[in-house]
Amino acid sequence: MEQKWTKLWLAYPERMRQENLEIVTKIHASESCQGDRLAVSAVRELTAGITAMGGKLPEVIYETVCEQCGQTGEGIYLVLAENANIGAEGYRLNGTGRSAVIVAKDTRGLLYGAFALLRHMSMGETVCEPSETVVPVMPLRMLNHWDNMDGSIERGYSGQSFFFVQNEIVINDRTGDYIRYMASVGINGIVINNVNVRGRANELITAELLPKLQTLSCMMQDYGIRLFLSVNFAAPIRIGGLESADPLDPAAIGWWKSKIDEIYRFVPELGGFLIKADSEGNHGPYAYGRDHAQGANMLADLLREHGGIVIWRCFVYNAGQDWRDKKTDRAKAAYEHFVKLDGQFRENVILQVKNGPMDFQIREPISPLFGAMKKTNLMLEVQVAQEYTGHQIDLCYLIPLYKEVLDFQTYADGEATVEEVVSGAKYGNRLCGMAAVTNTGDDENWTGHDLAAANTYGYGRLCMDPSLSAETIAREWIRQTIGHDAEVERVILDMLLRSREIYENYTCPLGIGWMVTPATHYGPSVNGYEYDHWGTYHRADHLGIGVDRTSAGTGYTMQYNEPNASMYEHRETCPEELLLFFHRVLYTEKLKSGKTLIQHIYDTHFLGVEQVKEMIAAWKTIADKVPERMNENVSERLDRQLYIAREWCDQVNSFFWRISGIPDEQGRTLY
C-alpha cells in the first residue's frame, strides 16, 4: 500500500556524496549496544537512512570499540562509553577522514548522535566534516497534542488526530513514523491528548484503554520518548463515582492512589500527568477552597513512587470579566494565582507557563512568572499550532519568536534569561524544559502548510540547542526536506525569516492583539473581543488606542523585576513593538520613526499585503524546482494568505480611519 504521509525532514532522497558512499558501508557498534532498545533504534535509523540516501545496506558489527578505533578504522562507529566526558543524553560526533565516530555515555545520546550524522549527510555534507558535541539544553523537550478521542483536534489545522479515531486509540505505521520524526529532533516527552479532557478521554486511564497505551508507550520508549497523559482533575467524580475530587479528601486521595497504581501496572514507563485545572471551566482544587499547590501536590505524592511527575498548567484567568472594568487585567492573573505559592510545590511538580501573559498572540511581552517563581520547577509552553498566527494557512515561522522568549532577561536573583530558568541552568533543577502545543494532524503533509513543518522541526532543534539561530534551523530544515538547490534555499529562507513580521504587519498593531474573529481565531474582527468577557480589550476610541498597564492603569508592569518594570512603565523606554500592550497612545502621537501612530498603522497594514504579494512572486520563481505536491500546497496557501491579508488590512485600516477621522497621508483607499 502506498504511504499516505510525507517523510518530512527524514525523506532521505538519494543524494549521498560519493566520498560518503565509500565510508558508510560498515557500522561498528559497542557490544553493549546489543539488545539495548535505544541503541538498536540508532543502528536501525542509520541503516535505513544510509540505504535510502544511496548507500548499500551497511554491515553492522557489534564489537569492542573505542573513540580511537575511528582514527584508524573505516566506517561509522557507535561508541557507548559510560565514562565519556559528555553530559547525559549528549553525544560527540567527529568526522576523522575515513570514519565518523559517535560517542555517548548513554544510548539515548547515541540515538541523537545517529540522527545528527544522518542530518549532516542529508544536508549534503561529507561524514568527515561534522565535528560537534551536543548535550540537550532543555531537560524536558515535550510536545502537547490537543487531540480529542473523537478524532478532532482543538486548534488543529492539519486534519484529524492520528492518535485517536472514533473514540479509539490508533497505533499503526504512521504512529511509528511520527515517533521517529520527533525523536530525530530530540523530543523526549509526548502528551497525546488535549488538556481539556472531555468525553471518552476521561476513560484513557481505565483498564479498557490502558493496554493500548502500553503498546504506544513501548514504541515511544524505543526512541527515548516518554508517554504522558492529560488527566481531568475531576476524574474521581467523572469515572470514579465519587462525589468530590477535593485534594484533601481521603476518599478522593484513596481513589487516585489505586488509580495511579493501576495505571503504572499497565504502563510502567508513563511520564506522568499534564493538568489544566481551574482554568476555562475545567474543574480544580478551587471548587473545594484549596489552592493549586494542594491540588498538584496530592497527585505528585502518589506519582512519586512510580517515578511520575505532575505538569500543572498556569493558564488561568477570570474568564467572566466585565469589559467596563478597567482595573481587572487578564494579563495579571497567572502571576496573582501562582507567585504566592512559590516554594510550596513538590519536587516532582512542574508549572507549565505560556510564553506570554495572554494567549499566544503574535506579539506579547514575556510572562512575568519566569522571573518570579524561584523555588518552583518551571517549564515554558509555546504554541507551534498557529492558533492566532494564521492557522497554517498563513506562513508564520515562529522560531524567532521562541528565541526572543528564551533570550528575555528576567533579572530573577540578579540575572537570568528565560532559557536559564527553564533549562535549569539558573537554579540547578532538572525537572524543567519546554513544551509545545503541536501542529500536526493526519493531513498527508502532517502540518497543513508544508512550510509549517519548519516550526515543528525548529521547536525540537531549539530545545536541544537554543543557541542555534532561526536562520541555521531554517536552512537545516530546507536542505533536508526540499533539497540542496541554492536558489530554492535562498527564496524559502527569506520567506520563512520575514514571515512573522509580515503576519504582524497586516494583523494587530504594536502588541495589542485580539483583533481576530472570536472562537475560530482566524481572520480579522477588530471589535470581536472588545465587549466580551474574556479580558481581551484594545480600548480604541476616536482619540487613541491601547491598554494602560502601568502603575496608574492596571498595574501589570509591576509584576516584572527591575529594571524591566520601569522599562515597560515609561512610554519612552517601552519597546515600541509592545507599545499598545502597555500604554494608551493617541493616534496623533509620534513614534520613534517620526510617524504618527495612525500613519504607522496604515503603513504597516498596506505593507503587509504587499509583502505577501512579494512572497507569492518569489515562490513562483522556484515553483518548478520543488516537488509538485509541495508547490500545489504552498501556492494554494499563499493565495489564501493574500486574500486574508487584504481583509485584515482593509478592515483594520478602515476601522481606524472611521473611528479617528484621520486620513491616510498617502491617500490610499480606505472604506
Positions annotated as catalytic residues are 280, 359, 387
Residue position matching grid coordinates 520601569 = 566
Q: How many CA atoms lie within 13 A of 451 on its CB side?
A: 32
> Shortest Cβ distance from residue 220 to ligand GCU (Å)?
23
Hey, what amino acid is at 151?
G
The whole-angstrom separation of Cα 236 and Cα 459 is 35
Closest CB to ligand GCU among residues 78, 277:
277
Please count the helices (runs of H) and the strands (runs of E) in the chain: 19, 18
> Does position 157 bind ligand GCU by CB under 6 A?
no
Nearest to 264 by CA among 292, 314, 227: 227
Site for ligand GCU in 545-584 (CB under 6 A): none
The whole-angstrom separation of Cα 654 and Cα 635 is 28
> Shortest Cβ distance from residue 182 to ligand GCU (Å)?
21
The whole-angstrom separation of Cα 445 and Cα 542 is 46
Closest CB to ligand GCU among residues 104, 275:
275
Size of the site for ligand GCU (CB under 6 A): 8
> Shortest Cβ distance from residue 325 to ligand GCU (Å)?
20
Among 17, 37, 98, 155, binds ligand GCU (CB under 6 A): 155
Site for ligand GCU in 456-485 (CB under 6 A): none
Site for ligand GCU in 325-384 (CB under 6 A): 359
Closest CB to ligand GCU among residues 246, 359:
359
Nearest to 121 by CA among 130, 111, 134, 112: 130
CB 598 within 8 A of CB 662: yes
Classify strands 168-169 and 164-165 as parallel, antiparallel or unpaired: antiparallel
> Shortest Cβ distance from residue 313 to ligand GCU (Å)?
7
Hey, what amino acid is at 41?
S
Q: How many CA atoms lie within 13 A of 37 on its CB side?
A: 9
CB 314 within 8 A of CB 334: yes
Nearest to 600 by CA among 612, 610, 588: 588
N-term to C-term CA, the chain: 54
What are the E-state strand segments in 508-624? Answer: 544-545, 585-586
Q: Give the x-and-dash track for 278-317 against ligand GCU (CB under 6 A).
A: -------------------------------------x--
Closest CB to ligand GCU among residues 58, 365:
365
Closest CB to ligand GCU among residues 112, 388:
388
> Does position 154 bind ligand GCU by CB under 6 A?
yes
| Torsion angles phi and psi, residue 240, rounded to 5 | -95, -10
> Does position 143 bind ligand GCU by CB under 6 A?
no
Count of CB atoms situated within 10 Å of the CB of 328: 15
The whole-angstrom separation of Cα 114 and Cα 36 is 15
> Does position 195 bind ligand GCU by CB under 6 A?
yes
> Does position 32 bind ligand GCU by CB under 6 A?
no
> Does position 603 bind ligand GCU by CB under 6 A?
no
> Shortest Cβ distance from residue 143 to ligand GCU (Å)?
14
Interior CA angle at 59 toward 57 and 64, to 5°? 150
3-state secondary structure of 524: strand
Among 276, 292, 330, 332, binds ligand GCU (CB under 6 A): 276
> Shortest Cβ distance from residue 379 to ligand GCU (Å)?
14
The whole-angstrom separation of Cα 132 and Cα 117 is 10
> Shortest Cβ distance from residue 190 to ligand GCU (Å)?
17
What are the E-state strand segments in 461-605? Answer: 544-545, 585-586
Among 51, 196, 294, 635, binds ligand GCU (CB under 6 A): 196
> Does position 318 bind ligand GCU by CB under 6 A?
no
> Does position 614 bind ligand GCU by CB under 6 A?
no
> Shortest Cβ distance from residue 273 to ligand GCU (Å)?
15
Closest CB to ligand GCU among residues 518, 563:
518
> Shortest Cβ distance from residue 154 to ligand GCU (Å)?
5
Q: List, in order, residues 6 or more apart from 133 with CB less than 8 Å away.
A: 86, 90, 91, 92, 93
Give the nearest residue (CB) to ligand GCU: 315
Closest CB to ligand GCU among residues 152, 196:
196
Closest CB to ligand GCU among residues 245, 277:
277
Closest CB to ligand GCU among residues 181, 315:
315
By CB atoms closer than 10 A (0-12, 13-18, 19+), residue 19 is: middle
Count of CB atoms situated within 10 Å of the CB of 426: 21
- 227 pairs with which residues across the strands? 190
Residue position matching grid coordinates 505524592 = 301
> Does position 147 bind ligand GCU by CB under 6 A?
no
Closest CB to ligand GCU among residues 105, 313:
313
> Shortest Cβ distance from residue 517 to ligand GCU (Å)?
12
Which residues here bind ligand GCU, judged by CB under 6 A? Answer: 154-155, 195-196, 276, 315, 359, 387
